[in-house]
């Protein structure tokens, strides 16, 4: 990956560090209401000049629904656990991606690969213990976030397939239909919060700014850049941002929410980051090995 590729991944990582900002929004807005306003604004920003094409919408509905379910479950889980846990949990996505590639014979399942998966699982166990120290409903929150992690990995695979199947649809348009689908999916839940009087409390300027950050940076910018990284490089390369974002998310959690940083969190997060990095390195070596094999075959 060249310098521009690394820069793109870093931008994706920064844009995805929205968990603490979302929890700030939860202080005065309902969970569903926060998400609804976020994606409604993002959809307005991403709307193409040509408007909605029903054919494209139907073609991308499957991948958009998977992505929407991932975001919805992440918001529910995020409301139950400290924000600093969220990016560490999503560091499992590169490991899941590697396991999928190995099952499809697109990557070699070596001892390094198995070690990366083991480190990731140890990190999950550690995070469960950390959640038990700081959250009233830790097991439920961790379980929901794990579901979101799996769905997010599936979203990456489905996005790559959709881009290959529909090359005429740009990444920004794909992001628009994802955001539109998510808006429609979360609408009933936001309406329920309005009906029960839990949608809005007493928001201040910082809460409105949090929603704006989520809409512009964490949705419109992030998911567009994520789709671009998938299309230009690979699904695994795009998921690299999920462990690069951990330091920025933890920092925001401390600054915005005053969340504690404990040794359990540091060790568990480190295990998951190490697992993700092993997965990336193993996949890179496998690709180089295959390229070398192809070159030797051509020479012969």
- Cα–Cα nearest to 146, from 82, 78, 84: 78
Q: Which structural domain range is residue 126 located in?
A: 3-294
Torsion of CA 203, 204, 208, 214, to 10 degrees: -80
Report which secondary-structure segment, H or E, holds 233: none
Residue 31 domain flag: yes
Residue 211 lies in a domain: yes
Q: Is residue 300 part of a domain?
A: no
* 69 inside domain: yes
- Count CB-CB contacts under 10 A for residue 111: 8
Would residue 299 count as lying in a domain?
no
**Domain assignment of residue 187, yes or no:** yes
Residue 206 domain-assigned (yes or no): yes
DSSP class of 48: -
Contact 138, 132 (CB under 8 A): yes
Q: Which two tokens stand for residue 125?
A: 């166990």
- Tokens for 282? 């193993």
Residue written as token pair 């073609």: 59
Closest CA to 251 of 9, 135, 83, 130: 83
pTM of the model: 0.76
Q: Measured at the alpha carbon of residue 60, what is the angle toward residues 58 and 64, in degrees to the nearest 5?
A: 115
Sequence-distant contacts of 286-295: CB under 8 A, at least 24 apart:
286/107, 286/108, 286/110, 289/108
Is residue 208 domain-resident?
Answer: yes
Q: Each residue's pLDDT tens digit in the chain (300 positions)?
A: 455 555 545 555 555 567 778 888 888 888 999 999 999 999 999 999 888 999 999 999 999 999 999 999 999 988 887 776 777 777 778 778 877 877 776 555 566 666 766 776 677 666 656 555 555 546 788 889 899 999 999 999 999 999 999 989 999 999 999 999 999 999 999 999 999 988 888 888 888 988 998 899 889 988 988 898 888 877 766 776 666 566 566 666 667 667 667 777 677 767 766 766 665 555 555 555 555 555 555 555
Tokens of 236: 């695994």
Task: Give the residue carrying structure tokens 């000049």.
Answer: 49
Two tokens, residue 124: 């999950």
Domain count, the chain: 1
């Amino acid at each position: 990956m060249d310098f521009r590729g690394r820069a793109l991944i870093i931008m994706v990582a920064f844009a995805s560090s929205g968990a603490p900002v979302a929890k700030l929004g939860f202080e005065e807005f309902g969970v569903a209401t926060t998400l609804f306003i976020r994606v409604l604004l993002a959809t307005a920003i991403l709307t193409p000049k040509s408007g909605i094409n029903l054919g494209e919408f139907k073609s991308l509905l499957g991948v958009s629904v998977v992505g929407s379910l991932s975001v919805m479950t992440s918001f529910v889980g995020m409301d139950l656990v400290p924000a600093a846990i969220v990016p560490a949990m999503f560091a499992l996505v590169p490991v899941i991606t590697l396991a999928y590639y190995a099952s499809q014979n697109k990557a070699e399942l070596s001892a390094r690969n198995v070690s990366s998966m083991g480190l990731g699982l140890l990190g999950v166990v550690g995070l469960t213990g950390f959640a038990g120290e700081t959250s009233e409903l830790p097991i439920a929150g961790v379980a929901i976030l794990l579901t979101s992690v799996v769905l997010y990995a599936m979203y990456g695979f489905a996005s790559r397939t959709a881009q290959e199947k529909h090359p005429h649809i740009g990444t920004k348009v794909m992001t628009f239909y994802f955001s539109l689908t998510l808006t429609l999916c979360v609408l009933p839940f936001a309406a329920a919060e309005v009906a029960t009087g839990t949608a809005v409390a007493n928001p201040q300027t910082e809460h409105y700014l949090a929603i704006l950050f989520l809409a512009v940076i964490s949705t419109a910018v992030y998911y567009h850049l994520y789709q671009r990284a998938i299309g230009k490089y690979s699904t695994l390369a795009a998921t690299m941002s999920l462990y690069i974002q951990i330091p920025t998310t933890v920092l925001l959690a401390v600054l915005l929410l005053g969340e504690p940083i404990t040794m359990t969190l540091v060790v568990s997060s480190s295990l998951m980051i190490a697992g993700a990095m092993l997965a990336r390195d193993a996949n890179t070596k496998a690709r180089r090995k295959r390229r070398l094999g192809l070159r030797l075959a051509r020479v012969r």
